[in-house]
Amino acid sequence: MWTYTKCTSKDREEKLNKLTEAFAREKDCSRYLSEVQKFINSTQTTIVLLQDVEDNVLIEMDYVPVNDYVFHVVNIEENGIKKQGLPCMTIKQAVSQFMAEIQD
């Protein structure tokens, strides 16, 4: 099961590839959410999947009832405010958005 993971520029590509593999199919996402829900009794949950510690960018998975989920890329600005990107329906979309944030 995927756990919160940190990355830097040195291992970013490797960690993103592993994340993409872990959540490649919708079934993988649903299974992960099912496991997380065993520990959390909440109607809505946000899970940080990956954090780039150099650029302060995160990939989060938001769960809403009935096994519906969405991925978000979040940029933590210098003042500590979280700036959330557009919702992504697949992990590949989130990884592309993540890389675009890193490049800015």
Q: Residue 38 — very low, low, confident or very high, per pLDDT cuts 50/70/90? A: confident
- The pTM assigned to this predicted structure is 0.86
> Six-digit token pair at 55?
């650029």
Q: Give the model's pLDDT for residue 36.
A: 81
pLDDT, tens only, 16-28: 999 999 998 888 8
Q: Where are the domains of the chain?
A: 5-103
pLDDT in tens, 64-82: 766 588 999 999 998 999 9
Contacts 24+ apart (CB under 8 A), 35-41: 35/1, 36/63, 37/63
pLDDT of residue 63: 82
Residues 6+ apart with CB under 8 A from 5: 15, 18, 19, 49, 50, 51
Spatial distance between the Cα atoms of 41 and 63, rounded to a whole number of angstroms: 12
